[in-house]
Amino acid sequence: MNTNPTSKSNFNPEEFKNLAMYLKENKNSIHNPSQISIECINRVIAGRLYYSVFLILRETIIRGLSNYSNCPKEISNFINALLVGSVHNTLLRFIEKLRDNDNLNQNPELNTAIRQIYNSLDYLKGHRVAADYELLIPTSVKTNRGYEKIKFEDDIVIAKLERKYDNIIKSLSKLEEILRKNKNDICEILREFR
């Protein structure tokens, strides 16, 4: 599987994952109780894992859509929305539209993969936002109902985020297949995309 969607001249977002793993493996030597806590290191890892997979997903989608010729205006507008503004929500909403489309979800395997991508990205995003913005320890991930307490200093949280990252990477080829085989339906989704 190609997890290196950018060209040689572009930054490879997989490096963010590599950095996260470096931090994880060298945590004890980086850790300095008076300056850099385990909490801090794990928060950085959470953020880098999310951004790595967010950028990989975005590049995969942009690359998949670049082969389309039947709705150039919609593709251009959508790619712009992926690059500027509420880019994180735009990506999640697009995956949601793929998942909910009646024509696209005829293949159970692909549909399951899309649901897993959505849930994994939602999970990583929730932790990334908490890692960067919520200063309380233990901190909280915001849901639409309220807050759920999580402990970044607990390594199990990072292990879980890694699993979510891996789930998305494993499902990338399914996403590519959906983008490749459903051009008309995806153009229709983009025409109605807000």
Partner 1 sequence: MIFENEVELTNYKYEITYDDEIIKHEGYWISHKKLLEILPLIKFAEKFKNKVELDIQSLIEAIIPEKYKVCEYITKYLEKYMTLKELLKVEIFGDIDDNRLYHYIRIIPIFESSEKSLDISEELENNIYESPLSNRILVFSIFK
Q: Which of 16, 50, 54, 123 binds partner 1 (CB under 8 A)?
A: 123
Query: Which x/- pattern, by CB under 8 A, does the window 161-180 give for partner 1?
Result: --x---x-------------
**Phi, psi (deg, nearest 5) at residue 54:** -60, -45
Q: Which residues contact 37 (CB under 8 A, 6 or more apart)?
A: 31, 153
**Angle 143-39-150 from CA coordinates, rounded to 5°:** 25
**Contact flag: residue 116 with partner 1 (CB under 8 A):** yes
Cα–Cα distance list, 111 to 3, 91, 95, 125, 178 (Å): 21, 17, 11, 21, 9
Q: Do residues 9 and 97 lie in contact, with contact meaning Cβ atoms separated by under 8 Å?
A: no
Q: Give the whole-angstrom CA distance, residue 5 versus residue 136.
A: 37
Residue 141 binds to partner 1 (criterion: CB under 8 A): yes
Which of 18, 26, 83, 100 touches partner 1 (CB under 8 A)? Answer: 100
Binding flag, residue 105, partner 1 (CB under 8 A): yes
Report how far residue 58's alpha carbon sits from residue 5's, in angstroms, rounded to the nearest whole number. 9
Name which of 163 and 181 has its Cβ closer to partner 1: 163
Is residue 84 close enough to count as binding partner 1 by CB under 8 A?
Answer: no
Segment interacting with partner 1 (CB under 8 A) among 11-19, 24-32, 38-46, 110-118: 110-118
- CA gap 129, 92 in Å, rounded: 15
Is 85 a binding residue for partner 1 by CB under 8 A? The answer is no
Measured in whole angstroms, how far is the alpha carbon of residue 158 from the centre of its chain? 15
Position 94 contacts partner 1 (CB under 8 A)? no
Tell me: does residue 112 bind partner 1 (CB under 8 A). Answer: yes
Under DSSP, the state recorded for 105 is G
Considering only the stretches 7-15, 23-31, 38-46, 157-165, report the one whose residues sit in contact with partner 1 under the rule CB under 8 A.
157-165
Q: How many residues bind partner 1 (CB under 8 A)?
A: 28
- 32, β-bridge pairs: 36
Query: What residues make contact with partner 1 under the rule CB under 8 A?
Result: 96, 99-100, 105, 108, 111-112, 115-116, 119, 122-123, 126, 141, 143-145, 148-151, 154, 156-157, 159-160, 163, 167
